Structure 1
Amino acid sequence: MVTTVVFDADETLLDLRPAVTGGLVAVLAEMRRLTPAAQEVSLADVEGDWDAVYDDLADEPVIRIRRAALARSLARAGLADELDRMAELFFARRFALTRPFADTLPALGHLRRSYVLGFATNGNSRAERCGLAAEFSFEIYAHVRGVPKKPSPAFFAAVLAAAGAAPSSVVHVGDSPDKDVQAAQEAGLRAVWLNRQGLPRPRGLRPDAEVRSLAELPSVLDRWRTTVG
């Protein structure tokens, strides 16, 4: 019987991309205020600096990856000494702009009447800072209390321990085919792929269900609620 629904955060519950862009716009404006050299630095440059450092740091905390990307951006304009202040500016703006998708709160409100809800993320979107305070019975964050990032099985072991539930009674919902669907299934959970963009299903991906909106989730879960195993 399905008792627990666990959600990924960024791009599942939270519309992160506009917030990140807003944070980078604020950093770039401050860089340009500080030095004419920053006039040659574009928004595309600072956005691309994340991709440039990500592969080497993928297993690190997100805040460390973002600081490395910002360091690369600042070096473009000779502003390496400004890293701490620019990181503070970025994160303040990023959290101020992070909002749930329009379908998030209605879906959570509906599901809470029937299921235990959890929040589980690789990122640094704390629920209470992103418009989701008090929405969940438990929250799991990678790199907190030794929890590794998804797709590690230990991440999902932490989810199950927090839920106090067997894998077969837990559904994981997320936007990442590998980290949220395949990894959850390998840990014994059911997995729902939230495919907001209607992307083609990757070869070999077999989610237990696929939805375009969280508004579709209650009917999917209700069909499973009394299913054993």
Structure 2
Amino acid sequence: DGVVLFTTPSITDSLGFPRDMWLGRSFIDFVHPKDRSTFASQITSGVAVPFSETKGGYHKDTRNSLFVMLRRYRGLRTAGYGVTANAVSYEPYKLVLSFREAPEERNDNTENMTPNSSTMLLVICATPVRSIYKVADETLSQRSTKFSTRHTISGTLTHVEGSSVGAFGYLPQDIIGRSIMEFYHPEDLPFLKEVYETVMRTGKVAGASFCSKPYRFLVQNGCYISLETEWTS
């Protein structure tokens, strides 16, 4: 049912919530509404391995990860004689999900501990995602982030690697299904047309790829970054 049973003290440093404020509440309540379907689908299709595949139980070593926006603690601020809530804000996090068996229960008739096989716990390790940029117009040649994307021949994005979040500002689910053309700078389109023509030619050779000169890509804050790409088809 997704009810939170335990949190670590670091939740206060990361999101500002008092440690016990999450207890007894559903985890998904703290996930941004736009990311809730992604979170739910990861649990049902990615983490919960069917019983038939694990000899009647969950696979203990199963791990899956995704990116979501988690809500920060709003707190309260004073305004004259009244108290008003701060605006709701969210921050990007990488979640690593895994299922574990519930702790053993003590048998009242014996001193032995018996496994509570009917209950499984979902363990979530949340790590904040930070921007890779420190200053404006920064060159990242010495510590550039590598990631991959895939799009169809019509330009629809079908895969965006999670390591791109710190560079793009978008979560993968924010741009999957959108056209790659939305993110190219208009002035770079003639050059990119030549790139795609080259991709079509080299694509006739299995495993062939080539690197293009930098082009501009629209990121979440409305600015453009310069990317160097190894293209393949």
Same fold per superposition (TM over 0.5): no
Give TM class, smaller chain. under 0.3
As a proportion of its length, which structure holds more strand?
2
Larger Rg: 2
Q: Normalising by structure 2, report the TM-score.
A: 0.21
Instruction: Give the structure, 1 or 2, with the largest relative contact order (CA under 8 Å, sep 6 or more).
Output: 1
